[in-house]
Amino acid sequence: MTCGERPYLRHLSASDDLVTTRAEVRAGFVAMALEKSRRATPFIEEARALKTAASVARVPEDLLNIPNIRPALLVAANVSDKACNHLIDMDKDAAIQALIEKHLIPAGEAFVEELVFRFLLTRGDTLGGSMRNFAGQLAQRSLSRAIIASLTISRESFQWLDTEASQWVLADQETDTTDIETHAGGFCWQNNEASRTLIFNKNVPIVEKNVDIILLDCPYSELASSIRDLSSYVALGELKGGIDPAGADEHWKTANTALSRIREVFAGKGLSPCTLFVGAAIEVDMAREICNQLNDGTLSNAANLTKPDQLASLCKWLTDL
């Protein structure tokens, strides 16, 4: 399987083309802020409801007698939803009692406000974790939308993996593809006489780790067996959606290490699938290193996630492999 003759030259003429501009960084931060605000709304409403329910208590101990606020008391006691699954009732009771004795009683008449503040503190940690995951989700959605566009303009139909229904769905010329990217876990299409299946975030047995982007020479019905067949691999890639320039080098180091491992283990079996990198935050030195790898053939293709034309070019190459 050939990766083509320098396909990155279709959208890159110099390393500076890969660099994320300050305007693109700002746009990324704005998008994250808007999403964070949207996701925070339910937590704020929950806090208001908690304040209303708890306001009937005359003293902190009365909170134990108010129906249906026990889950919120656990949250205020800094017991996460995940932790709750591992605790028995005795542990939960102890956590709530500690909250009352150490924080609510000392707060005096302001104990309801203290309860609400501590509830929001824990919910804020939950929100932070979901936002870290969202950067990856947003990156996958952007890449998926570009793949859908490439497939739509060049083929009559393709299949996509609906992660909500856990099934593959046909998309033809009559299909409204709006929002497919929000829950697409993979795609399958015909490339001349060959079938291609692209899957996201799947464990590659020979690498012993999940890989962000995997393109296989197989129909989706044979995905389970083909993932174990090294000769089926057409391309593997890393996708990094974080927009913060401060984390750009670390994201690249992580991705570069993963890609080096992929090339090493496949080369050990006499194979050389294409490798690619797509990132949102790409700084000057990082862009130079990526371009050096492109020029010497180490890396097959790369694109900046914030630059639609680059993403479109990379996805055309990917869907034509």
- Give the CATH number, domain containing residue 85: 1.10.238.90
- Residue 2 covered by a domain: no
* Structural domain boundaries enclosing 193: 7-35+131-320
Tell me the percentage of the chain whose pLDDT exceeds 90: 67
Give how many domains the chain has, as a whole number: 2
Helices (H), 167-247: 223-226
Who's near 223: CB < 8 A, 6+ residues apart?
Answer: 186, 197, 199, 216
pLDDT in tens, 76-128: 998 877 788 888 888 888 999 999 999 999 999 999 999 999 998 888 887 77
248 and 160 both lie in a single domain: yes
- Residue 155 covered by a domain: yes
59 and 203 both lie in a single domain: no
pLDDT score of 1 = 54
Q: Which amino acid is at 113?
A: E
Backbone angles phi, psi at 262, to 5 degrees: -60, -50
Grouping H, G, I as helix, E, B as strand and the rest as coil, residue 160 is strand
Q: Which residue has the higher pLDDT, 192 or 102?
A: 102
Give me the mean pLDDT over the 186-207 stretch: 93
Grouping H, G, I as helix, E, B as strand and the rest as coil, residue 250 is helix
pLDDT at 138 over 90: no
125 and 22 both lie in a single domain: no
Mean pLDDT of the chain: 91
pLDDT in tens, 232-244: 999 999 999 988 8
Give me the mean pLDDT over the 271-296 stretch: 95
pLDDT score of 57 = 92
CA angle 274, 277, 283 (to 5 degrees): 150
pLDDT in tens, 151-177: 998 877 999 999 989 999 998 878 888
Q: Which of 129, 158, 182 is the last residue of a domain?
A: 129
* Cβ atoms of 190 and 170 closer than 8 Å: no
Q: Which residue has the higher pLDDT, 40 or 112?
A: 112
Give me the mean pLDDT over the 196-215 stretch: 94
Total Cβ atoms within 10 A of residue 20:
24
124 and 162 both lie in a single domain: no
